[in-house]
Amino acid sequence: MGASKTVPSSLKEFLENGIETVVCSICTEPFDEKHVVVEIKDCGHQFGQICLEKWLEQNKTQGTCPMCRDVLFSVPRPKHKLITIAPVSPTRFCEYYNQVDNVVASAHSGFLARLWSNLYRMYADGEVHLSRATMQAFDSLSGPEHDALYPYIRRIRRLGISRTWGTCIVTSLIHTLIHFTACCDSDFRPSNAVWRAFLLFHAEAGNALLDWGDIRDAAWRLQQCHTDGRATGNQWQVLYLFLYLMAIHRAQKCGTTPIYKIKDIRDLLTVLNCERSSSVAQTRDTNTRLFLSAAGHVLDRSKIDAEFGKDDRSRRLLSHTTDLAQLKKDVEGLWLEGLAIGTAEIAAGFPDNWWSGP
């Protein structure tokens, strides 16, 4: 951790490895003459001017910096009492999709299959109407799946997608899927095991949204609980989903090239639009550095995206029929292996950007 800075040996090496394109941390697009960069005087954080204005016009931001949440100006209190929209219980959703057969049936010809197709088509066309995609996926459904989804669809139909973020488990699933489509080619379809990973995550997360802090902290807490001999809980479900996301992102981004570096994991977090992911590239936080170092090793050791050389564990990770207790054991064991390697690398003095070359 106290390692000295490594100075590039030449101008060429510096230009190849020592600089990177500056992007707006709100929209993640590079700055240019149309996307004008501005800097907040107090905290020094930089954003696209239009992006910052749109951010600050939202009442929910409370006039704060998108990165450090420093208060930039006073927001007048509303004159009328705010109406609180209570969350709808995720229990009914979880009870239905906790059944593996229901997940498989839905992924083949039910709500999940239709929702994925609608979201991907709209994302590819550049015209995303989430409420319409959801209603089209739900319409003509019948039987137990219709009944399980009805209270959530009724809520979305009444309030719209934007007013149900964080209060409806179907909206939370849509939030995960719409960013997930950005990682995938047009012919990609989630396997039964991937769908199970999605549903396991949302069954545990409830109405919560996929978040960078949750992903990173799940690995950190797993290591702590294992060291202390305490029960490790359900963090493995978050890590199981993220393992699949890394594997698919590598396959789509790198093809058959077996290279996946820290900068690619940062890119994935940006694609997922995880909260605070824009600060990951600059962080010196030990927990984050450990996670980024470990994640690539976890993916390599899992072998779930290997064309050849799969072992018993990788086959279990890829199977939707694997017993949950065994799946938990495999996921936790895999991440502990990766964390052990990452811990050794951090202790050896690798800087936070040691694995970010081309």
Co-location of 182 and 309 in the same domain: no
Residues 284-328 have pLDDT tens digits of 677 788 888 899 899 999 999 887 788 999 999 999 999 999 999
Co-location of 352 and 299 in the same domain: yes
Domain endpoint, select from 203, 223, 247: 203
Does residue 14 fall inside a structural domain?
no
Co-location of 99 and 68 in the same domain: no
Residues 260-281 have pLDDT tens digits of 778 888 888 887 777 555 555 5
Co-location of 350 and 246 in the same domain: yes
Give the C-alpha separation, 165 to 65, whole Å: 21
Co-location of 256 and 218 in the same domain: yes
Co-location of 136 and 116 in the same domain: yes
For residue 349, the tally of other CB atoms under 10 A from its CB is 11
Percent of the chain at pLDDT exceeding 90? 33
Evaluate whether 70 touches 42 at the Cβ level (below 8 Å).
yes
pLDDT of 105 reads: 96
Co-location of 29 and 156 in the same domain: no
Co-location of 228 and 191 in the same domain: no
pLDDT of 338 reads: 94
Does residue 283 fall inside a structural domain?
yes
Residues 140-193 have pLDDT tens digits of 899 999 999 999 999 998 888 888 888 899 999 998 888 788 777 777 889 999
Domain endpoint, select from 174, 203, 232: 203
pLDDT at 355 over 70: no
Co-location of 281 and 338 in the same domain: yes
Co-location of 140 and 45 in the same domain: no
Among the listed residues 314, 285, 319, the one whose alpha carbon sits nearest the alpha carbon of residue 191: 319
Domains: count for the chain? 3
Give the C-alpha separation, 148 to 96, whole Å: 6
- Residue 27 class from Cβ within 10 Å (0-12 exposed, 13-18 middle, 19+ buried)? middle
Domain endpoint, select from 164, 184, 203: 203
**Dihedral, 120, 157, 163, 121 alpha carbons, nearest 10:** 10
Among the listed residues 72, 78, 76, 161, the one whose alpha carbon sits nearest the alpha carbon of residue 115: 161
Which residue range forms the structural domain that includes residue 116?
85-203
